[in-house]
């Protein structure tokens, strides 16, 4: 997904800039930004050397020890924040939900972490699997495909089965040369068979 804009705002660089201001009232914001930055990093491990190049342990390929970061540190942070927001006695009970992220976002983050950790643990039980690259668990290829499908349809928002079949054939013939929509929700990534 196209989260790079959020990743730029919720980045270690922004947290460092806020920290350099020396204002104690920013400490919770800084912690939030650092935690989300680490979460983004943990779910975007692209290769086995990325953590060396960026000097960032969160970008290391997943092995058993890395699951703790997501399960305990990240989910623990969210759970602690939620508990703190619900126990704020100086805020009326009906307004306490405003002190936390939306219920849907909270649930989505929990589902994402639990699903990834469960699947990674399952994969790592296989003796032939040494590590897991979290970026490979992406829906971007699917989104890119449907973007290309929509592009083939022009102004037609409700294609028939025959039109979808024709578009599929066109996309197979065009292969990776088919262009996805410029306003799609994902960035084009170089394929392993393409020159970078």
Q: Among 6-15, 48-57, 171-180, 183-192, which is the least confidently predicted range?
A: 183-192
CA-to-CA distance for 47 and 44, rounded, in angstroms?
9
CA-to-CA distance for 121 and 44, rounded, in angstroms?
17
What pLDDT was estimated at residue 79? 93
> Is 38 or 195 the better-scoring residue by pLDDT?
38
What pLDDT was estimated at residue 194? 46
Please compute the mean of the pLDDT values over residues 121-134 and round it to a whole number.
Answer: 84
Q: In the structure, what pLDDT confidence band is assigned to residue 195 with cuts at 50, 70 and 90?
A: very low
User: What residue ranges in the chain does DSSP mark as E strands?
Assistant: none
Phi and psi for 125 in degrees, rounded to 5? -75, -20
> Is 10 or 192 the better-scoring residue by pLDDT?
10
CA-to-CA distance for 3 and 140, rounded, in angstroms?
11
Q: Is the pTM of this model over 0.75?
A: no
């Amino acid at each position: 997904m196209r989260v790079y804009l959020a990743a730029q705002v919720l980045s270690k660089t922004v947290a460092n800039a806020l920290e350099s201001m020396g204002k104690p009232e920013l400490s919770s914001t800084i912690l939030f930004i650092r935690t989300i930055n680490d979460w983004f990093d943990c779910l975007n491990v692209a290769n086995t050397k990325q953590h060396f190049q960026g000097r960032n342990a969160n970008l290391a390929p997943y092995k058993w020890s890395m699951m703790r970061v997501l399960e305990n540190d990240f989910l623990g942070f969210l759970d602690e924040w939620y508990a703190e927001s619900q126990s704020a006695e100086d805020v009326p009970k009906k307004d306490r939900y405003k002190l936390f992220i939306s219920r849907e976002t909270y649930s989505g983050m929990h589902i994402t972490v639990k699903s990834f950790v469960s699947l990674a643990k399952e994969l790592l039980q296989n003796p032939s699997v040494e590590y897991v690259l979290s970026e490979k668990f992406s829906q971007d290829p699917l989104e890119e495909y449907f973007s290309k499908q929509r592009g083939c349809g022009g102004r037609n928002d409700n294609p028939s089965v025959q039109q979808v079949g024709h578009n599929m054939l066109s996309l197979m013939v065009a292969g990776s040369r088919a262009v996805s929509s410029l306003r799609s929700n994902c960035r084009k990534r170089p394929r392993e068979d393409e020159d970078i």
